[in-house]
Amino acid sequence: MTWEKPVFDKYGFTQFGWQCRTPEKLVLGEKVKIGAFTKLDALHGIEIGDGCDIAPFCHIVSFSSDSGKKGKVTIGKNVYIGTYTLIMPNVKIGKGAKIGAFSFIRYDVKAGKTVIGIQKKIGDINWQ
């Protein structure tokens, strides 16, 4: 099976069942898999590296109306993001990192690290 680049309709939905607000500010690497019902808010930019696998029902946002936080989200190559994960604005996730299902990511994740659950601060018990 060959990889197919997503095509966005006028509402930002793709043929794969995921959606992106401001798709012109989304930089998507090769062979990126994004699960159905995932929503990306690329208003301030989202960059996803080659070979990433993002499970269904995730949210990746470059702007949060709740906190007012904004900034580009950068996801390195070969990152796995589990289902129902929320990634907040201005976060960098390093190459080969793994994010467990139902996680809340609001701080950077170093390359190769595994993060599960709610990040409290860098270095807390959620880091393995």
Nearest to 37, CA basis, from 5, 83, 72, 81: 83
Q: What is the mean pLDDT of residues 90-100?
A: 97
**Is residue 28 in a domain?**
yes
In a domain, 53, yes or no: yes
pLDDT digits (tens, 9 = 90+) for 19-30: 999 999 999 999
Q: Is there a domain that residue 31 lies in? A: yes
First to last CA, the chain: 34
Average pLDDT, the chain: 92
Domain that holds residue 103: 19-115
Q: Is residue 4 part of a domain?
A: no
Q: CATH code at 66?
A: 2.160.10.10
Determine, yes or no, domain membership for 99.
yes
The verdict on residue 13 lying in a domain is no
For residues 117 and 109, the answer to whether their CB atoms sit within 8 Å is: no
Contact 101, 119 (CB under 8 A): no
Cβ–Cβ < 8 Å for 107, 121: yes
**The pTM of the whole model exceeds 0.85:** yes
Say how many domains are in the chain: 1
Residue 76 lies in a domain: yes
pLDDT at 124 over 70: no
- Only one residue has tokens 């939905």, namely 13
Structure token digits, residue 105:
């990511």
Q: How far is CA 91 from the centre of its chain?
A: 9
Helix (H, G, I), strand (E, B) or coil at 98: strand
